Structures are given as structure tokens and as C-alpha cells.
């Protein structure tokens, strides 16, 4: 079989034709689905975190109001309670953080990981 030898201009034409050709390799057919799942998870995380921040804000705000009421001048009856709190501030802080973490785990982490599903071709 004889070789087909293209003339000079054919080489340029061939180069141009090849340059305009799409690569044979393509993105996997799951590309968009995988990406969407990642984005949905990010949105979910953002939403859960916003809800959590809102709840923490409400609880913290309520506690601050309660404390302000307790230390309001003239309320001598609350003095022993405040003394107890300040004397055991480490314990109180630790307890607060524990509550916060439990709350965070329950409201954010568990919900988030429950939402996370494996990616399968069936969708």
C-alpha cells in the first residue's frame, strides 16, 4: 500500500484542523453530579452553621439578660449565687463549653453527616 503524501499546504490545513478538534478525553459523566453534591453539602453546612449561630446567639443573649437581672443593684439575694459562679468560673466555663459542643454536635455535625450520601452512578 502506498503512503499518501500530502502537499505542503495540506500540513498547515491538517495542523489547523487538529488545533480546532476537541480532545478525545472527556470529563467523566458524573462530573456535574459530583460537583453538585459538593455544592449542596457546602450549602447545607452553611445553613446548619447559620441556624446554630442563631440559636447560640438567642441562648447567650437570654443568659446575659438573666445575669444582668441578677447583678442589678439592690438584689442582694443573688449575691451568693454570683459569688458561687465567680469562685468556680473554670467549672462553669467547662460546663458551658461542654454544652456548646454537645449542642453543636447535635445540631450541626450529626445533621450534616446524616445528610452526606455516597455518590453513586444511579444518583
Given the rule CB under 8 A, which residues bind other proteins?
A: 3-8, 11-12, 14-28, 31-32, 34-36, 38-40, 42-43
| Minimum distance, C-beta of residue 112 to other proteins, in the bound complex (Å) | 16
Q: Please write down the HEC assignment for all residues of the chain.
A: CCCCCCCHHHHHHHHHHHHCCCCCCCCCCCHHHHHHHHHHHHHHHHHHHHHHHHHHHHHHHHHHHHHHHHHCCCCHHHHHHHHHHHHCHHHHHHHHHHHHHHHHHHHHHHHHHHHCCCCCCCC
Q: Which of 4/76 has CB closer to other proteins?
A: 4
Q: Which of 15/110 has CB closer to other proteins?
A: 15
| Minimum distance, C-beta of residue 18 to other proteins, in the bound complex (Å) | 4
| Minimum distance, C-beta of residue 74 to other proteins, in the bound complex (Å) | 50
Q: Which of 23/74 has CB closer to other proteins?
A: 23
Amino acid at each position: 500500500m502506498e503512503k499518501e503524501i500530502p502537499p505542503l499546504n495540506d500540513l498547515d490545513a491538517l495542523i489547523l484542523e487538529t488545533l480546532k478538534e476537541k480532545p478525545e478525553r472527556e470529563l467523566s459523566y458524573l462530573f456535574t453530579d459530583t460537583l453538585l453534591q459538593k455544592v449542596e453539602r457546602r450549602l447545607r453546612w452553611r445553613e446548619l452553621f447559620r441556624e446554630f449561630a442563631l440559636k447560640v446567639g438567642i441562648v447567650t443573649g437570654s443568659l446575659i439578660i438573666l445575669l444582668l437581672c441578677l447583678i442589678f443593684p439592690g438584689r442582694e439575694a443573688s449575691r451568693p449565687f454570683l459569688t458561687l459562679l465567680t469562685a468556680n468560673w473554670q467549672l462553669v466555663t467547662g460546663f458551658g463549653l461542654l454544652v456548646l459542643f454537645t449542642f453543636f454536635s447535635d445540631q450541626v455535625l450529626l445533621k450534616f453527616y446524616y445528610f452526606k450520601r455516597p455518590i453513586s452512578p444511579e444518583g
